[in-house]
């Protein structure tokens, strides 16, 4: 997916993966990107964050789904990196 954009940035891969899975369940391809040495050094995510990326054409719908997910699981804003 070479036209990907950042949907959100979270603190941990374990927060990003469920978001990507939720989007996939709703037909949106998403992936998690983190400069954490392929998962070998997760502490790097604390300084750089973990990006959840989607295709640019899916961004509006993905934002709506992310908001629904935040409301449903009561994800605190401080768990988001931004």
Domains and CATH numbers, the chain: 4-79 (3.30.70.1530)
Quote the pLDDT of residue 12.
81
Give the integer Cα–Cα distance in Å for 59 and 14.
21
DSSP single-letter state for residue 54:
E
Give the integer Cα–Cα distance in Å for 78 and 12.
12
Quote the pLDDT of residue 82.
53
Provide the residue-wise pLDDT of the chain in tens; the chain has 82 residues.
Answer: 679 999 999 888 888 999 999 999 999 999 998 876 766 776 766 677 889 999 999 999 999 999 988 877 665 666 555 5
15-to-3, 45, 76 alpha-carbon distances in Å:
23, 11, 11
Give the integer Cα–Cα distance in Å for 19 and 54.
11
Give the integer Cα–Cα distance in Å for 74 and 82.
17
């Amino acid at each position: 997916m070479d036209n990907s954009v950042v949907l959100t940035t979270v603190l941990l891969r374990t927060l990003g993966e469920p978001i990507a899975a939720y989007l996939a369940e709703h037909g949106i391809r998403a992936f998690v990107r983190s400069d954490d040495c392929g998962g070998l050094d997760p502490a790097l995510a604390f300084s750089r964050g973990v990006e959840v990326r989607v295709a640019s054409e899916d961004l509006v719908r993905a934002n709506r789904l992310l908001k629904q997910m935040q409301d449903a699981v009561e994800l605190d804003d401080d768990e988001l990196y931004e």
